[in-house]
Every structure is written in C-alpha cells, then in structure tokens.
Structure 1
Amino acid sequence: MIVLGHRGYSARYVENTMIAFKKALELGADGIELDLRGTKDGRVVVIHDEDLKRLCGVDVKVSDLTFEELKEYKLNGETIPTFEEVLSILDDKHILNAEIKEANVAERALQLIDEFRLTDSTVVSSFDHELIARLIRKRPDMKFGFLVGEELRNDPIGLIDKLLQHKPYSMHLPHQLFDYPMVFRKIVKMIRKAGAKIYVWTLDDLKKYQRIEKHIDAVITNQVELFVNALKKPQRAEGA
C-alpha cells in the first residue's frame, strides 16, 4: 500500500512546508501530496489556498504577489516553498502526487518535474477535469489522475464513466464515497476494468482504511506516523 503525506505530515506540522514534507519522508511515507499555484511573476509555489487568510491571517491572493513578496509571510517560521525546493528533496524512490490548483501553472510544473527527472514517480492530479484530459493527450509519457469530490453527488457512475474514457493513470476518490457501499463497489469495478489506480483522499481513520484496503492502491493521509506504523513497520510478535 502506498502511503502519501497529505501536504506533508500536516497533522503535526504546518501544511505544505518544507519541514512537513521532510518529516513525512523521514517517518517512512512512500511520498507526499502537495498543491501548486502561481505567483504574480510566474513562479510555481506550493500552497493549497488561493489567498493567505487561513494560514497567515492576511486577505491577499497568492497570484497578486511576487515570489519575493510571498516570502515575507511566514507559516510558524516557515516560508511558502517553491515547487523546485520540494522537488529537490525527492528522488525517484519517492512518489509525488502534485495537485494543480490553477491551470496556468500546469506547463511550468510539468517542465520542472522533467528537469528533476521525476517523471516516472510523479502523478499529476486536479479537479480541473478538462485540464487533465488535455494533459493526458499532450503528455502520454506522464501519469495523470482525476480528482473527484462534490461532483459525485449528482451522477457518480456517469461521471466516473466519462472520466475513464480519457484513460487516466489514476482516479482520486474522497474517503466519504466508501460510506455508500453499493456505489463504491460499482465505481471500483469500473476503475479496475479500465486499468486505473485508486488513490483515496484524505483518510485519517485506520479502521475505515482496513475496511477498504483491498480495493485501493494508495492512501493520502494527514496522519503519516499512524499509517506508516500500522502499514509499513513489522508488527512485533505476540508476547514479545
């Protein structure tokens, strides 16, 4: 089972910071999940929100700041990293799930993944389904995944069927989907028939994981240490 730290080890450290990513890898996660946006001067940076309100208490958009201006804002002493900074601590043994939050950073993000020679170990995903469909056609050598969430409320089977027509590497499903067993089983069957992987976000409940583990390929979690200890480390012999 692949264990990915959601925005790094974000249960313990500030999300999407270098320390959060480093700690996730040090603890034994297979890799990390992160979010990509662009600055005013075209740098690709790692941050989930479009503005700094939640993390810094400042009502300013990331896209309205140059990277130098963005560096002035600290997250518990940490600066918002560039994509290059994060790529520099990875190697091809680590799995990277890079979520594109803004379509205009996609081309540069793919260039950087190529430059760091992490193409084979990276999955690029997005809720922007048109973007992912275009990228699949443009870069058949790379791995792309469709993120789905609220859209599943209307016609989950129809949506999954439509997205699978584009032949993605992976489908990224919310853990809440597994609370609807009949729909879940149908969707898993469709995805497996299409030959795609199943990534689950963002799952922090080990008991829930144990109910679905045989159906999925990767779990994205905030609770990196909990999942690594349960899934990656040998269990002590009973009575030892």
Structure 2
Amino acid sequence: MCAAVYVLSTVTGYVLTSALLLKCPTLLHRRKRETFLSRHISHRGGAGENLENTMAAFQHAVDLGTDMLELDCHLTKDDQVVVSHDANLRRSTGINAYISDLAYAELPPYNCKLEVTFQRECFCEGGEDKRIPLLRDVFDAFPNTPVNIDIKVNNDTLIRKVSELVAKYDREHLTVWGNSSNQVVKKCYKENPRIPVLFSLPRVLQLLGLFYTGLLPFVPLKEQFLEIPMPSIITKLLMRKALFNHLTDRGIQVYIWVLNDEEDFQRAFDLGATGVMTDFPTRLKEFMDRNGISKIQ
C-alpha cells in the first residue's frame, strides 16, 4: 500500500512539474537569444511570382517587405556556392547535368517557365532574369535581410564554404541553416555553432516523442528553428498550440511551409506559428496586412 502511494505521488509530482515547465520553460532553460523574428518568409524567393531562386525573385520579395528569404545551395565543380534547389539541372534548365559537374561559368540559364512545386498545376513564367546566382550575390544585395539556407547535399566543402561566406559578410546573426538530414545539421553545427540550425527530420520526430511523453520541458535543445510542412501526417500529430507556445517561450521559432492559400495562412497563425513560408509573397503580405499581423509583436 505504501509503495503504491509512493509511486502515485511520484507520478503526480512528475506530471505537475512537467505541466508547469511546459508553460514556464524559462524556469529550467535560458531563453535563446533571437536576433531576428520572421513572420513572412519567401520560399525560393517566391517561386509562384518569379522564377525560383533568382535575384529577381529575391528583390521582389524584399521590396514587398518579406522578413526572410529561403533558398537552397549547391557547389559547382570550381567550388562556387550557387543558389539552386536541384542537384540536377534538367527540371530547371532542360539540361541533364549536375551542378557539381559544371564550373559556374558553364551553368545554363533557367527555363522561361517553371512548375511551382507546392502549388498544383501552377507554373511561373519569369522575366529577363534567368541566371543561377551565387550565394554571395544574395549577401551583397540584401545585407540586412535574414536568410534561411537549405544545404542540399552532404558535402563538407559546401558546408565549410557557406560558413565562410556567412562569416565574411558578418551574417551569423541573420542566418539559419540546415537540412532534413541529421548528419548535415550536425556538420553545420560543428562547422560553425554561431549560426543557428534547423531541426532535422529525425530531431523533429524526437521532439514529438519528448512532447507526448512529457519529457520535452526537461530536455535542452540546440536548435533554434523548427520548420514543418502542412498538411502532412507528421504535421497533423505535431500541430499542437501547447507545443508551439512552449518552443516560442524558449526562443525557438516555428515556421510552417509551404503555404499558398489564405485558409492555411490563418490556420498556421491560429496555431501559434512564428511565421509562414510561401511561394506567393504578395498573397501572404496582403493577408497579413488585412489581419493586422504584419509586424512581430
């Protein structure tokens, strides 16, 4: 009888402590320092309004007042860090070649018309800018705009060179990087722990497990940004306002991608997401302006 009472009191104490720390995580963890906050994030610069990952797309998004540019990086044969989503150029340029097999000067221009990946039966027809840019071009043009970098391949040289560029342009406080691969994120963090990292997919799953077992409030987290897709099976499990609020209170920003209609915009913000990533920056800006959520409070 005494043993049962002891177990019951221990479990009750654990549950109450977990619940308290879930709502007040700074009792145990120091809040992460947030050097920027992003509500409006332009996916590939806004792939629904300009050709993806071009300087024209990035300029358009920045002119609209986007809080962050999201882009993807690869390494050319001559070790130049370029901004492009695909390793192979067939989809984007019509040329069946890998970026890693070509020098930067040999890269072909983008096609005039590209499918918008996250919008069904939608294509974007671009203007005159069809050039695959260098990452340093983006840093030169937008020195004060936060950039979200997806390291597309597990390449030590790519990771090192991106880190060197971020440091050279004094952008460690304006950059987040990573990949769905836990191995890539670990390498990024090891290469330069001053650049905040994203949760990898395995770490997202671990985060879920910690949340639903009540252990999350007790566990330190090195990541500062959680990016999750919507809709998906994982997201339907993950999307709990209590989780988002807990992470936000710890200084971890929650971004939901890639959302392109107002119903999903509303749902994401209602759930407490820090920001939304979209292919249509104009559409998101108009929604946020109408609903008075353009500014971080």
TM-score range, shorter chain: 0.7 to 0.9
Number of aligned residue pairs: give it.
Answer: 230
Distance 1:159-1:147 versus aligned 2 partners, 3 A rule = farther
CA deviation map 1:17-75 (0-9, x unaligned): 110111111112112100000111111000001111111111111111111111x4344
Aligned pairs for 1:137-216 within 5 A:
137-148=190-201, 157-158=208-209, 167-177=222-232, 181-185=236-240, 188=244, 191-192=247-248, 195-214=251-270, 215-216=272-273
Distance 1:221-1:180 versus aligned 2 partners, 3 A rule = closer
Q: Give the TM-score taking structure 2 as reference length.
A: 0.68
The residue type equivalent to 1:41 in the other structure is: D
The residue type equivalent to 1:96 in the other structure is: V
2:157 counterpart of 1:101: no
Query: Which deviates the most, 179-188 or 18-27?
Result: 179-188
User: Could you tell me how far apart the structure 1 residues matched to 2:106 and 2:227 are?
Assistant: 33
**Residue 121 (structure 1) aligns with:** 174
**Residue 227 (structure 1) aligns with:** 284
**Residue 86 (structure 2) aligns with:** 49
User: Could you tell me how far apart the structure 2 residues matched to 1:111 and 1:135 are?
Assistant: 12
**Residue 105 (structure 2) aligns with:** 68
User: Could you tell me how far apart the structure 1 residues matched to 2:235 and 2:92 are?
Assistant: 33
The residue type equivalent to 2:224 in the other structure is: Y
Deviation at 1:183, TM superposition (A): 3.6
User: Could you tell me how far apart the structure 2 residues matched to 1:22 and 1:202 are?
Assistant: 20
Gapped regions of structure 2 (runs ≥ 5): 1-37, 113-127, 293-297
Deviation at 1:132, TM superposition (A): 1.1
**Residue 88 (structure 1) aligns with:** 140
Distance 1:133-1:74 versus aligned 2 partners, 3 A rule = closer
Work out which of the residue numbers 110, 120, 123 in structure 1 matches 2:163: 110
Larger radius of gyration: 2
- Retained in 2: the 8 A contact 1:99–1:126? yes
- Retained in 2: the 8 A contact 1:148–1:172? no
- Retained in 2: the 8 A contact 1:157–1:187? no
Distance 1:147-1:75 versus aligned 2 partners, 3 A rule = farther
Distance 1:184-1:234 versus aligned 2 partners, 3 A rule = closer
User: Could you tell me how far apart the structure 1 residues matched to 2:259 and 2:168 are?
Assistant: 31
User: Could you tell me how far apart the structure 1 residues matched to 2:109 and 2:210 are?
Assistant: 39
- Retained in 2: the 8 A contact 1:96–1:122? yes
Deviation at 1:133, TM superposition (A): 2.3
Gapped regions of structure 1 (runs ≥ 5): 236-240
**Residue 238 (structure 1) aligns with:** none
Deviation at 1:123, TM superposition (A): 0.9
The residue type equivalent to 1:86 in the other structure is: V
- Retained in 2: the 8 A contact 1:177–1:184? no
**Residue 32 (structure 1) aligns with:** 69
The residue type equivalent to 2:280 in the other structure is: Q
User: Could you tell me how far apart the structure 1 residues matched to 2:200 and 2:277 are?
Assistant: 12
2:59 counterpart of 1:22: yes
Query: Which deviates the most, 166-175 or 134-143?
Result: 134-143
Deviation at 1:102, TM superposition (A): 1.6
2:49 counterpart of 1:12: yes
